[in-house]
Homo-oligomer: A and B are copies of this chain.
Amino acid sequence: MRRKADESLRLDNQVCFAVYAAGHAFTRAYKPLLGKLGLTYPQYLVMLLLWEHDGPTMREIGERLHLDSGTLTPLLKRLETMGLVHRARLPEDERQLRVTLTDKGRALREAAADVPRAIGCASGLAPDEAKRLRHELVALQAALARAQ
């Protein structure tokens, strides 16, 4: 019989690797769909946020997506270069940056409308299964954040 310590060092036993591998699988599944829109997955997340509620500051985007300025500054500059968003300092606080959709950025929403359905389909999850799994992952993320 194998010792406990050995067991726990086996790759297959690790939830983290399963999350890591599932993340890769999702990225691969999204790539052809988002490629048609000219977006990467993190860029798509920012666009989702803006379609939901236009005009957040960079700090708010970072809090929502758990990304810092080192990631977001170049990402948002790319979206701006593509003509999808506009970046402007707040007049009342010049430190902060407001990100707003351009007409082109708003228009992209129609083209992206069928992406979630396609991914839902590929995942093979029923809506209620997806919902439960999402809840468990959110709880997991919160527990890890709490443990610091």
Chain A interfacial positions (CB closer than 8 Å to B) = 5, 8-11, 13-26, 28-30, 41, 45, 48-49, 51-52, 64-66, 109, 112-113, 116-117, 119-125, 130, 133-134, 136-141, 143-147
Q: Which residue of B lies closest to A28 (CB)?
A: B144
Residues of chain B within 8 A (CB-CB) of A8 are 116-117, 120
- Pick from B21, B29, B125, B147: contact of A29, CB under 8 Å: B147
> By CB atoms of chain B within 10 A, which of A16, A64, A119, A130 has the most?
A16
Residues of chain B within 8 A (CB-CB) of A137 are 15, 18-19, 21-22
> With the chains together, A122 CA to B19 CA distance in Å?
15
